[in-house]
């Protein structure tokens, strides 16, 4: 992110309008970027280096991952799962964040999306939670990829475009 901010003009970007999006584990990364204290990572970095984000079916509570077969590889302790769960973090950014999940996804994705939106809204971030009717884990990302979809328009609105 620092490299992107420092070099945006070299590839036609706007360092003052960086927005990010991610799906599933990428939704977790998006939330992590939205709670990062950017000035502590480099001289001159602005607090709001990331102007807005969209977490699609993001994983914000890692304890269910710790309790799943995936933990054989990840080896999360209960303490690590809590430490890296964005649901329990304090956002360092005012937002906006669009937190999206499909209405026919597994209930855990809906819970985590809804609880992240509620928790971070309560902590002062501008968050819009959106459960997309009739969509599941893969059709939500298809909506993101369709430039004419409501989701794509909402993400572009985060950038002011």
Band of residue 125 on the pLDDT scale cut at 50, 70, 90: very high
What pLDDT digit, counting tens, does each position of 136-160 carry? 999 999 998 999 999 999 999 988 7
Is the N-terminal amide bond of 96 cis, ω within 30° of 0? yes
Range list of β-strands (E), the chain: 18-23, 50-56, 97-102, 127-132
CA distances from 69 to 63, 84, 154 (A): 12, 18, 35
Residue ranges of domains in the chain, CATH in brackets? 13-158 (3.40.50.1820)
CA–CA–CA angle 30, 137, 22 (5° rounding): 15
Supply the pTM of this predicted model: 0.90
Share above pLDDT 70 across residues of the chain, in percent, rounded to a whole number: 99
């Amino acid at each position: 992110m620092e490299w992107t901010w420092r070099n945006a003009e070299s590839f036609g970007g706007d360092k003052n309008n960086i927005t990010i999006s991610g799906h599933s584990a990428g939704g977790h990364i998006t939330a992590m970027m939205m709670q990062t204290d950017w000035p502590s990572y480099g001289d001159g970095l602005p607090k709001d280096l990331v102007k807005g984000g969209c977490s699609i079916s993001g994983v914000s509570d890692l304890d269910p991952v710790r309790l799943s077969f995936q933990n054989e590889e990840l080896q999360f302790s209960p303490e690590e799962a809590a430490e890296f769960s964005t649901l329990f973090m304090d956002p360092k950014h005012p937002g906006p964040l669009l937190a999206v999940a499909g209405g026919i996804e597994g209930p855990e994705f809906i819970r985590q999306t809804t609880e992240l939106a509620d928790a971070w809204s309560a902590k002062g971030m501008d968050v819009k939670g959106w459960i997309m009717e009739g969509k599941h884990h893969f059709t939500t990302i298809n909506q993101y990829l369709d430039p004419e979809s409501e989701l794509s328009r909402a993400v572009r609105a985060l950038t002011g475009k």
